[in-house]
Structure 1
Amino acid sequence: MKNKFLKGTIASVIVLTTVAFTTEKKTVNVAESQVNWKGEKVTGSHYGNIQLKSGYFTMEDEKITGGEFVMDMTSINVTDLEGESKQKLEGHLKSEDFFGVEKYPTAKLVITSAAKKSEGVYGIVGNLTIKEDTHPVTFDLTMNGDAASTKLTIDRSKYNVRYGSGSFFDNLGDKTIYDNFDLEVDLKF
């Protein structure tokens, strides 16, 4: 009798644990999601977009607990220029001077923790890898049904992207390119 009771109790605990802590993988629709970038220099700015290669959040009880997002660095696109100027800047951004996409075709963000700050808003902590250099990043993310959005600023010099950086080179004058670039991310699921 004790044996049957013990087996029944263990089975109940397993069922309740499974129901109480439902983990799911929420996969991003990369075709409908957007990652827009903006970089600034002394004399102005440029902007464009980059494609996600893959991405997902891990969810537990409908709350973000982790995730991983891979950007296709070969898809860097400039949207504020046309023709030869556009092609020239895209080529330069893809070159070893900047992101070296031939050697480093992807960048990756791994979410290591997420804390709910308010309804639909999470404080995210993660590790961003660009050109095999990994550094922690923090940002707020808004989740709304089957969509999520965030804005974050990245210091490119931490990832060995130093071309035109006033932090590393003197006498650049109006050719100085600021270290920080902005990302505006809109995800669809």
Structure 2
Amino acid sequence: MKQFIKTGVLAVLVAFLTFSFTTNTDKKTVKTDESKVVWKGYKVTGSHEGTIAIQSGELHFNDEVLTGGAFVMDMSTINSTDLQGEYKDKLDGHLKSDDFFGVAKFPTAKMVFTKVKATGKNSYQVTADLTIKGKTAPVVVNLSVYGSKATATLKVDRTKYDVRYGSTSFFDNLQDKAIYDEFDLVADLVF
């Protein structure tokens, strides 16, 4: 009988310790065909916007609370959606050139979450490492999760990634040809 009780107590103790140190991390794969990233860049005389395809991505949850994530964007898909014809082709080609994102040499951009802080019931402030053109710098992402969808918004300072074209941080006397250093990204994610 003593052996039976010892075995029972030991089994309960092992189960308790296993449960205590096991996390319920759930990795949700982003459905790339249903998700999208929209960019918007600003210049003295206006703005342009377009899209970038997500190549792969996942969000990590622990008991439905966001704990991490990572994404890869296919920079070869960067394009403008506010222009048509010849002007669209010129801008799309320029964005892919070395003046901007150097897509031939750097075909992807990557974001890896490093810290996630809840700011409300379904909202988070995420610190992430963003890599563009082989350069990595931290960014702050505001992210909201509702069911199997998430929306992430952030401002990116392109000068941190050696995207210099038209930047008053690098060139003087640009006047109305200046392009502002920050651009916006909005990601609508389905997982």
With structure 1 as the length reference, what TM-score do the two structures score? 0.94
Distance (whole Å) between structure 2 residues aligned to residue 160 and residue 131 of structure 1: 7
**2:49 aligned with 1:28, yes or no?**
no
Deviation of the 1:152 alpha carbon: 1.0
| Structure of larger gyration radius | 2
Q: Distance in 2 between matches of 1:16 and 1:177?
A: 54
In the alignment, which residue of structure 2 is the partner of 1:65? 67
Name the count of aligned residue pairs.
188
The CA distance in 2 between the partners of 1:91 and 1:6, in whole Å, is 69
- Residue 12 of structure 1 is matched in structure 2 by 15
Q: Secondary structure in 2 aligned to 1:118? A: coil
**Superposed counterparts of 1:27-176, under 5 Å:** 27-176=29-178
Q: CA deviation at 1:173?
A: 1.1
* Counterpart AA for 2:37: V
- Which residue identity does 1:85 align to in structure 2? Y
Q: Which amino acid in the other structure matches residue 13 of structure 1? A: F
Offset, 1:184: 1.3
Displacement of 1:34: 1.3
User: Secondary structure at 1:113's aligned position in 2?
Assistant: strand
How far did 1:144 drift? 0.3
Distance 2:30 2:17 in 1: 30
1:58 CA displacement: 1.2
Q: CA deviation at 1:93?
A: 0.4
Task: Name the % identity.
Answer: 51
Q: Which runs of 4+ in 1 moved over 4 A?
A: none
Structure 2: stretches of 5+ with no match in the other structure: none
Q: Deviations for 1:34-86, whole angstroms, at most 9, x for unmatched residues? A: 11011111111111000000010111111111110000000001111111110
TM-score normalised by the chain length of structure 2: 0.93
